[in-house]
Amino acid sequence: MISKNTLYKFLLLAIVLLMVTQSKSYATGGFPVRPGRLTLSPSVNYFFANKQWDSNSNKGPFPDNGKFSSLSTSLYAEYGLSRRFTLSALLPYASNTYKDNNATYKDSGFGDAEVGIRYYLANINYKYYFSLQATAIIPMYTNLSLGYNQKGGELRLAFAGSGHLFGKNSYFILENGVREYFGYESVFQDRYNATYGLTLDKKFREQISVSFGGFYASSNNKAFSPNPVTNKNFAFNQVSLSYGHSFSKKVALFVSGGTFITGRNTSAGSSVSASLNYHIDTK
């Protein structure tokens, strides 16, 4: 039978993974969405880890040759309400597996649904844009292996712009969001991400981008435990590389790979993902 410590470690990894998949920037990021345009973005992500960082950021293997993997999917939707406002929604689903020399533990289900509204504060010469997004977080589960099972809210500020580098069209997106999960021993999170991309051809069909991002989470409960019910303090940073191909003005495919580079109380893993963006103009 799987030990309690192994089970608790699996629960922590599952929650961190859901946070990683939900932190992804979809569609246009900090750029305006045309009024009446609906963007649908289904995605799939595979995450694997066999090492961890402890509370002192020391890296080492899981006990008993433990390995964690997850296959997760999500559906993101964004709609342009006006030139200033957009509405977004996210629904994730994950299937997680932790395996060591003693046992195998599996779990799956929906995660935290998100519904948000974004307001474009200002622009500079229609090349650089500032936006603020408010998001409501709604748990779609009761199993604590899939999240905190607490409602929450987030405020996210983004700065995005476009330009040229080495004769290529380029863009950047800088984002920082503060998130609070409400309830007993509530959790505060700071989520940040920086992306820089280049278009590779004159028809804007091929692009590559690099990203750096991470999480910092804290709670009134400062004690360390692998159980996410009592341990709500962790941090990590990750880097990723993405490639995008536009089949038409309405359809684009993105593939990416990333890895954690630093961490505290979390796993040391890598991921690969793919997402499809589809635009529908309703006006």
Q: What pLDDT score was predicted for residue 227? A: 33
Q: What pLDDT score was predicted for residue 14? A: 56
Q: Residue 25 above 50 pLDDT?
A: no
- Mean pLDDT (whole number) for 57-72: 88
Q: Count H helices and E strands in the chain, helices first.
A: 1, 14
User: What CATH number is given to the structural domain containing 219?
Assistant: 2.40.160.40
- pLDDT, tens digit, 9 for 90 and up, residues 1-24: 445 555 555 555 555 555 555 444
pTM for the whole thing? 0.88
Q: Residue 139 above 90 pLDDT?
A: yes
Q: What pLDDT score was predicted for residue 9? A: 56
C-alpha 148/C-alpha 107 separation (Å) is 15
Least confident of 90-94, 158-162, 216-220: 216-220
Domain count, the chain: 1
Q: What pLDDT score was predicted for residue 120? A: 95
Q: What pLDDT score was predicted for residue 5? A: 59
Q: What pLDDT score was predicted for residue 166? A: 77
- pLDDT, tens digit, 9 for 90 and up, residues 149-158: 889 999 999 9
Q: What pLDDT score was predicted for residue 267? A: 83
Q: What pLDDT score was predicted for residue 183? A: 81
Q: Residue 26 above 50 pLDDT?
A: no
Q: Residue 209 above 80 pLDDT?
A: yes
**In the structure encoding, which two tokens stand for residue 81, read together?**
């309400």
Instruction: Report H helices in the chain.
Output: 4-22
Q: Residue 45 above 90 pLDDT?
A: yes
Q: Which domain holds residue 261?
A: 4-281
Mean model confidence pLDDT for the chain: 85
Q: What pLDDT score was predicted for residue 224? A: 41
**Gap between the terminal Cα atoms of the chain:** 58
C-alpha 221/C-alpha 232 separation (Å) is 7
- pLDDT, tens digit, 9 for 90 and up, residues 232-280: 788 899 999 999 999 998 999 999 999 999 998 888 889 999 999 999 9
C-alpha 115/C-alpha 153 separation (Å) is 10
In 3D, which of 238, 195, 194, 196 has the Cα closest to residue 216? 238
